[in-house]
Amino acid sequence: MAKNRNGDRLDTVVGPEASVRGDLRVAGGVRLEGQVEGRMDVTETIVSGPRSLLKGELHCRVAVIAGRIEGDIYAVEAVELQSGAQVLGNITCRELVIQPACVFQGSCSMARTGEVS
């Protein structure tokens, strides 16, 4: 899996009791344990916990998903679906890793550098 450019530092945490409605933009990395309804723009890595929920598009450099995403994922580098992850949407990335026991309903497009929007 690709390394986060800022040393795997997660600058923002959306805790398990948090619920965000609206677009969320983060310069750096994010740990998502709660719920977000809206578009997420993360300049580095997003790590979603097993009980997390995102309803909306995700734009990031790297995504490590253990929770549920209902929307499309656009990653500049890599997406990893960990065991138990659920993605209901399309994935666009350069590198995709899918662990056993995941749900992925959508399509995947493996883009070259600079093609992910």
Q: Note the pLDDT of residue 113.
A: 56
Query: Could you write out the three-class secondary structure of the chain?
Result: CCCCCCCCCCCEEECCCCEEECCEEECCCEEECCEEECCEEECCEEEECCCCEEECCEEEEEEEECCEEECCEEEEEEEEECCCCEEECCEEECEEEECCCCEEECCEEECCCCCCC
- How far is Cα 68 from Cα 63, in angstroms, rounded to an integer? 12
Which pair of tokens denotes residue 51?
């009980």
13 and 33 in contact (C-beta within 8 Å)?
yes
Decide which of 113 and 30 is more confident.
Answer: 30
For the segment 89-98, what is each residue's pLDDT rounded down to a tens digit?
999 999 999 9
Which pair of tokens denotes residue 25?
């933009």
- Taking the model in full, what pTM does it have? 0.88
What residues does each domain of the chain span? 12-101
For the segment 11-61, what is each residue's pLDDT rounded down to a tens digit?
899 999 999 999 999 999 999 999 999 999 999 999 999 999 999 999 999
